[in-house]
Amino acid sequence: MLLIPCPYCGPRAESEFTCGGEGGVARPADPDRLGDAQWADYLFMRRNPKGLHHEQWRHVSGCGRWFNVRRDTVSYRIDAVWRMDEAPPAGVPGAGGAS
């Protein structure tokens, strides 16, 4: 069983959570200027890396809150968890480090 460390409740079973997909996807700065292809990229195209991946999870059977997870898609190991109002740790896209 995968234990996910909710930043509000602590470690809980994966069955209490739902994955909301890739995290850190920035909304377009000026949506009126996007063409159809750019909208399609924003709405539907997501990374599918082999290795570390930034994801959004919600603790649906607990506090109900959304938070960020960096999880290795091969080993399932979670190496970072942070709240939505926190800055991502170094090495996560948006943290100012390497992505």
With binding defined as CB under 5 A, does residue 59 bind Zn ion? yes
Pairing of strands 18-22, 52-58: antiparallel
Minimum CB separation of residue 39 from Zn ion in Å reads: 33
State how far the Cα of 64 lies from the Cα of 28, in Å rounded to an integer.
27
Comparison of 16 and 42: residue with beta carbon closer to Zn ion = 16
* Interface pick for Zn ion out of 62, 91, 93, 94 (rule CB under 5 A): 62
Query: With respect to Zn ion, which residue has the nearer C-beta, 6 or 92?
Result: 6
Residues 8-47 vs Zn ion: string with x where CB under 5 A?
Answer: xx--------------------------------------
Of the candidates 71, 61, 84, which has an alpha carbon nearest to the alpha carbon of residue 7?
84
Residues 6+ positions from 86 with CB-CB distance below 8 Å: 7, 68
